[in-house]
Amino acid sequence: MVIAAIAQSSISANAEIDATDLMTKELNDRLRGLMLSGVKRVNVRNVYGQRYIGTRLYTPERLKMEIEVYGTPGNDLAAFLYGHKITVHGNAQDGVGNTMDAGEVIVKGRAGDVLGFSMRGGEIYVRDGCGYRTALHMKEYEGKRPVLMVGGRAQDFLGEYMAGGIVIVLDLEDQTHEANFIGTGMHGGVIYLRGSVEQSQVGDQVEISPADDVDMAVLDQHVSRFEERFPELEMDREEILSSPFVRLTSKSKRPYSNLYAY
Amino acid sequence: MRSFVFPEFQIIRDEEKCGQCRACERQCAFGVHTYDPVADRLVSDESKCAGCQRCAIFCPKGAIVVRPSPSFYRPNASWSREKIEDLKRQAETGGVLLSGCGCDKPFRIYWDHIVLNASQVTNPSIDPLREPMELRTFLGAKPDLMDISAEDGDVQIKTELSPNLVVETPILFSAMSYGAISYNAFRSLATAACKSKTYFNTGEGGLPREMRDEFGKCAIVQVASGRFGIDAEYLNCAQAVEIKVGQGAKPGIGGHLPGEKVSASVAETRMIPAGTDAISPAPHHDIYSIEDLSMLITALKEATNYEKPISVKIAAVHNFAAIATGIVHAGADIIAIDGLRGGTGAAPKAIRDNVGIPTELAISSLDRRLRDEGIRNRCSIIAAGGIRCSADVIKAIALGADAVYIGSAALIAMGCTLCQKCYTGKCNWGICTQDPRLSGRVNVEIASQRLSNLITAWSHEIREMLGGMGINALESLRGNRDHLRGVGLYEWELDVLGIKGAGE
Amino acid sequence: MPRIRRSRRELYNKEICACSIFGAMNRDGERFSGAGVMKAIANMRVRGNGLGGGFAAYGIYPQFKDYYAFHLMFTGKSPQAKLEAKMELEDFLSSRFDVVSDEEIPHDEAVKLRDPPLVWRYFLLPKEGGDDSGLVRSEEDYIVDQIMAVNARIENAYVFSSGKNMGCFKGVGYPEEVGEYFMLDRMYRAHTWTVHGRFPTNTKAWWGGAHPFSLLDTTIVHNGEVSSYGTNRWYLEMYGYACTLQTDTEVIAYAADLLMRRQKLPIEIVAKILAPPIWNAIDRLPEKERKLLTTLRMVYGPLLMNGPFAVIIGTTGRMIGLTDRIRLRPITAATRGEMFYISSEEASIRLISHQLDRVWTPDGGEPVVAELNSMRKVLL
């Protein structure tokens, strides 16, 4: 496990960490050490299940680092992320972007359950599909609006309790959305799905509408960014944007106001 | 003979607030309030007051307070005021003391000594507002094991299945007969049952013909010892047939509907002459032993083409678990057990208050007994008698019941205040009376809405509590005593209930 | 099967555990050592707390493949107590079974585990005329009854594995430590391995409480908590299963035995009983399917496994992964050539097989079934 030394002036070569046999804590120790010593970009190789990569990188001075992860990072990748950029060359597991505040996560593969849980800022791009309970309780406030994009499909409970932010699920392989319980408890934010869903698949207070011009402008912007990050997909942006999209939003801010007797 | 007994209730009228509108006079069928035109004030005869609170609630000025009159006998732990005055009444009349509603004596209420579990950390609690929380229940016999063949993905069920009732919430309306309650109250129960996708029980008074088409689909009809109103159409229009062997309020004795309450319409439905007393004998006179019951059950199955589950309702008494086992072997699909606190329109007070055992203990011992015999899935258990809130329902299910019947709770939803004077036929709330002037006070639309509201509210509370325990389907709570603990109970009580003490 | 009569108030303690599970099968039936799965489960060390681990291995006793391999653990405070339990057990066996070979299950003295019991294996068959009860039952039901009798009645003796040509190895320690203790990387080759690492919340962990739980050749490794345990247990006890091992996983093992072995229901149906779909979904299905699923829920409601769970059920020739119906626990399945993997986390699979052909996370309640190719040929 040798950390290649970097001359401070060199910005073209990335630092290297070989994560073989490293426990989670050791790996994250080294990442932080590199960041504090001024490194801006690092490759981490042979990752098998180490957790919380990117979490230990908060500094009041807002130092930023770009991390390229090779292998399969463990749970809670980019949890509480504070502005860094992480690219995963492989699949990710559960909890990606847990309570993420700012920064960018790119997964060249699929992600697991609880993706973007309580996400409050930044962007996550997942090339393939994701699991259950995606974007649970995602939030936004004034200018700070998180974005989550998934190239494949999501499983059940997408957007549960969503309170803000934008989620876009592209289903690029045209397999149709089979998730149920989409948006149960949703009271803010917006979900865009390429294709369609039945009313029976979404929560009671979720409204399904076809995407209008305003929506398409938003989608255009984000689909472009998605395409930039996954050139290997060789997406036909025009074709994708011309296919039908639906927008899911909450009918009311207080969906449960009639529930209680006082 | 002069009565030596004090009035039970005291009426305090605030003369400054009272506007002499005479609403109280109109509302009270007992004739308590009368207007004295000379003095231009309302005069109240406390000795007639039943304490039903109708006048107090309907007084537009809130000028009336009706409260139990204080007792001024020397305090005596053994000779309570009630015991003294009941005795005096019997000395004055030589009669059996009657009462309505259920046992009001301070026997231990086990519901209030059982606490529920909640999940934390090791098992997530489930939020019923977001995730599915299923209360659907099937009442009836289930086969022991199923014979299923699966060839090339084509699955065939070979086992023949018994008919089951499907109910979307485990709360059903208990048996209250038309005759004991008014037509409007009866119809309100039927309406609410259909609306809330549950069932009502016709009680032994039959089901009026005009109601069969609309309400048969949510009805459980009863075959009681008086066999009132029973014909093949009656049996077949409903979804289940219940043989009433006993009820919790008056185990072992029959029923007696006084002639005053047998109006023309009641008579037509029950098929007896108007104005006669409707007597339900103590036993079914064709059931003197268990094999006779088996015969009746089979007869009813024949009469309904084996399409409806047959239920048997018994009172919870000392050896009832053994009786219940026999009843299951006799072919019953559902057993309804009615405990000590079960209500009634009329019963001798001595029987109402002293005969029977608490429902909570009954459910637990019945569930255990049937399991020990290996026959628990041949019937469903419906528990009745003193279910007051949604927590009681959950506890009943965790102790082993499949569903509950609510009687008093349903009446209270419609306005009843448990004044226990149902047998007089003068129910000011219009519920337990045949006097058209009174029964018109129950508006079917409003009363049925109140009942549906009750079911909705309780069902939601049940979902919340289930979710708190980390369970999202009611079938995972049935008999799951793990989720209960006892507080302030003796060890034998914990043993009978089959639960641990809190902290154990 | 005989009814179990319980004491009035069951003061049993149900241990709760959260954990990690892993399974690997070579569908061609080629046998491999336990080294790979030990490495995989060690990778998920953080999911356990070192208080329990275990393995199930299929195909490890080819020279005794027609005999039931009983694995026994004899607990007890002193070596004397353990030997007494062993004698009592062997007395019980001698009248009912022909034991063709028996020995202590070898372990590595250099590996120190906490309070190890005496662990012994017996290869046996029921004795002709050994059953004098007069009951009519199949050989397998007879064996299960004897196992229930041993576990309930002989103090300090527990049968923890009882299938043919397969065996469970478990104890208190991290799973990779238990694997080293029993030398699973050196002494055994199996075509199917399932593994479990435990995180019990009751600190008084005991060897019998580790997973897998097994009955004949059905084994279960389980991650999660069965909140319907009380209900499941009441129902299973009606069918003669004694739930003595103080862990909720037991009910899954017995339910699998009841539904799969005794009732011969196909795994797709069994999955729909243990983890049925929601009523909303059932009501929207075509009539035939709706009727079937409604009937299953109506009849087998008490076997619904509520609460979060991910299990791997092992039987001879089959490895089945299943989660609860709203997928509260993670499960990842993957294939690479003839190898089939099921794991709590993908990283552990990648560690021992960097390349994978297919990786997916099954839906809640949908079983993932890996089968030996030879089994399918036999069924055809």
Mean of per-residue pLDDT scores for chain B: 91
What is A75-250's CATH topology?
Answer: Pectate Lyase C-like (2.160.20)
Per residue, the 3-state secondary structure of B456-500, as one string, reads HHHHHHHHHHHHHCCCCEHHHCCCCHHHEEECCCCHHHHHHHCCE
Report the pLDDT value the prediction gives residue C343, as an integer from 0 to 100: 95
Q: With a cut of 50, say whether residue C203 has pLDDT above it.
A: no
Listed residue (C339, C211, C220, C196) closest to C270, CA to CA: C220
Number of structural domains chain C divides into? 1
Estimate the crossing angle of helix B390-399 against helix B359-372, to 10 degrees.
30
Tell me the residue ranges of DSSP E strands in chain C.
Answer: 17-26, 32-33, 53-58, 68-74, 97-104, 118-126, 157-161, 166-171, 189-190, 192-200, 213-215, 218-224, 309-315, 318-323, 332-336, 339-343, 358-360, 368-371
Q: With a cut of 60, say whether residue C15 has pLDDT above it.
A: no
Among B96-105, B259-268, B401-410, C81-90, the minimum mean pLDDT is found in B259-268
**In a domain? residue C9:** no
* CB A178 within 8 Å of CB A153: yes
Residue of C nearest to B371 (CA): C238
Report the pLDDT value the prediction gives residue C105, as an integer from 0 to 100: 95
- For the stretch B208-236, pLDDT in tens is 989 999 999 999 999 987 777 777 888 89
User: What single DSSP character describes residue C258?
Assistant: I
In this prediction, residues C97-105 reach a mean pLDDT of 94
* Tokens encoding A193: 């799905």
Q: Does residue B450 belong to the interface with chain A, where contact is any CB pair within 8 Å?
A: no
The angle subtended at Cα B188 by Cα B182 and Cα B191, nearest 5°, is 145
CA A199, CA C8: separation in Å to the nearest integer? 50
DSSP code per residue over B180-203? TB-HHHHHHHHHHHHHTT--EE-G
- Test A161 with B460 for CB contact under 8 angstroms: no
- Test B129 with A256 for CB contact under 8 angstroms: yes
Q: What is the largest CA-CA distance in chain C?
A: 64
CA B486, CA B503: separation in Å to the nearest integer? 9
Report the pLDDT value the prediction gives residue A256, as an integer from 0 to 100: 64
- Test B130 with A256 for CB contact under 8 angstroms: no
Q: What b/e string do you get for A219-241 counting C-beta neighbours within 10 Å, with b at 16 or more?
A: beebbeebeebbeeeebeeeebe
Domain boundaries, chain A: 1-68, 75-250
- Report residue B409 CA to chain centroid gap: 7
Among B185-189, B259-263, B395-399, B424-428, the minimum mean pLDDT is found in B259-263
CA distance A213 to chain C (A): 34
**In a domain? residue C100:** yes
Contacts (Cβ under 8 Å, ≥6 apart) of C320: C267, C271, C312, C313, C314, C367, C368, C369, C370
- For the stretch A46-99, pLDDT in tens is 999 999 999 989 888 888 999 999 999 999 999 989 999 999 999 999 999 998
* CB B472 within 8 Å of CB B132: yes
- For the stretch B90-128, pLDDT in tens is 999 998 898 999 999 999 999 999 999 988 777 777 888
- Tell me the CATH architecture of domain B9-95: 2-Layer Sandwich (3.30)
Report the pLDDT value the prediction gives residue C287, as an integer from 0 to 100: 93
In this prediction, residues C262-290 reach a mean pLDDT of 91
Q: How many CB atoms lie within 10 A of CB C87?
A: 12
Q: How many CB atoms lie within 10 A of CB C335?
A: 18
Cβ-Cβ pairs closer than 8 A, B with C, add up to: 124
CA C181, CA C110: separation in Å to the nearest integer? 8
CA A205, A206, A207, A208 torsion: positive or negative? negative
Compute CA distances C102 → B197, C88, C190, whole Å.
62, 15, 20
CA A131, CA A153: separation in Å to the nearest integer? 8
Nearest to B130 among A160, A259, A261 (CB): A160
Question: Catalytic amino acids of C?
Answer: 19
CA C185, CA C166: separation in Å to the nearest integer? 16
Listed residue (A173, A67, A155) closest to A111, CA to CA: A155
Residue of C nearest to A74 (CA): C347
Compute, in degrees rounded to 10, the torsion defined by CA atoms B372, B373, B375, B381: -60
- Pick the more confident residue, C116 or B260: C116
Compute CA distances C342 → B240, C54, C319, C346, whole Å.
48, 16, 9, 9
Listed residue (A226, A246, A247) closest to A236, CA to CA: A226
Q: Which of residues 6-45 of A touch B (CB under 8 A)?
A: none
Q: How many CB atoms lie within 10 A of CB B54?
A: 27
Confidence band (pLDDT; 50, 70, 90) for B47? very high
In this prediction, residues B377-389 reach a mean pLDDT of 95
- Test C361 with A90 for CB contact under 8 angstroms: no
* Tokens encoding B493: 């009580």
In this prediction, residues C250-266 reach a mean pLDDT of 90
What's the pTM value of the predicted model, to 2 decimals?
0.81
Nearest to C279 among B136, B470, B479 (CB): B136
Interface test with C, best of B476, B489, B504 (most C CBs within 10 A): B476
Can you say whether residue B286 is alpha, beta or left, with left for phi > 0 and alpha for psi between -120 and 50 degrees? alpha
* CB C242 within 8 Å of CB C254: no
Report the pLDDT value the prediction gives residue A247, as an integer from 0 to 100: 95
Domain boundaries, chain B: 9-95, 161-501
Nearest to A74 among C345, C361, C364 (CB): C345
Tell me the residue ranges of DSSP E strands in A54-199.
Answer: 66-72, 82-89, 102-107, 123-126, 147-150, 163-169, 188-194
- Pick the more confident residue, B227 or B500: B500
In this prediction, residues B252-281 reach a mean pLDDT of 77
Interface test with B, best of C299, C326, C376 (most B CBs within 10 A): C299
In this prediction, residues B140-162 reach a mean pLDDT of 82
* CB A200 within 8 Å of CB A183: no
**Phi and psi for B445 in degrees, rounded to 5?**
-65, -45
Each residue's pLDDT, cut to its tens digit, for chain A (262 residues) gives 344 444 444 455 789 999 998 998 899 999 999 999 999 999 999 999 999 999 989 888 888 999 999 999 999 999 989 999 999 999 999 999 998 999 999 999 999 999 999 899 999 999 999 999 999 989 888 788 999 999 999 999 999 888 889 999 999 999 899 999 999 888 889 999 999 999 999 988 899 999 999 999 999 999 999 999 999 999 899 999 999 999 999 887 666 666 666 5
> Domain B161-501 is classified in which CATH homologous superfamily?
Aldolase class I (3.20.20.70)
Listed residue (C224, C197, C232) closest to C328, CA to CA: C224
In this prediction, residues B410-425 reach a mean pLDDT of 94
- Test C330 with A113 for CB contact under 8 angstroms: yes
Domain that includes residue C103, residue range: 17-379
Mean of per-residue pLDDT scores for chain C: 88
Q: Does residue B236 belong to the interface with chain C, where contact is any CB pair within 8 Å?
A: no
Residues of chain C positioned with their CB less than 8 A from the CB of A197? none
CA distance C347 to chain A (A): 5
Contacts (Cβ under 8 Å, ≥6 apart) of A11: A40, A41
Report the pLDDT value the prediction gives residue A1, as an integer from 0 to 100: 38
Q: What CATH number corresponds to the domain at position C213?
A: 3.60.20.10
CA distance A74 to chain C (A): 7
* CB A172 within 8 Å of CB A235: yes
Contacts (Cβ under 8 Å, ≥6 apart) of B282: B225, B252, B253, B254
- Report residue B271 CA to chain centroid gap: 25
In this prediction, residues C253-268 reach a mean pLDDT of 90
**In a domain? residue C325:** yes
The residue assigned the tokens 């079917």 is B444
CA B295, CA B287: separation in Å to the nearest integer? 9
In this prediction, residues B370-381 reach a mean pLDDT of 92
In this prediction, residues C49-55 reach a mean pLDDT of 83
Report the pLDDT value the prediction gives residue B273, as an integer from 0 to 100: 76
DSSP code per residue over B381-450? EEEES---SHHHHHHHHHHT-SEEEESHHHHHHHT----S-GGGT--TTSSS---HHHHTTS-HHHHHHH
Predicted-complex ipTM score: 0.86
Q: Does residue B142 belong to the interface with chain C, where contact is any CB pair within 8 Å?
A: yes
Residues of chain B positioned with their CB less than 8 A from the CB of C8? 495-496, 498
In chain A, the N- to C-terminal Cα span, in Å, equals 64
CA distance C60 to chain B (A): 32
* Tokens encoding B428: 């000011």
Contacts (Cβ under 8 Å, ≥6 apart) of A76: A51, A52, A55, A94, A95, A96, A98
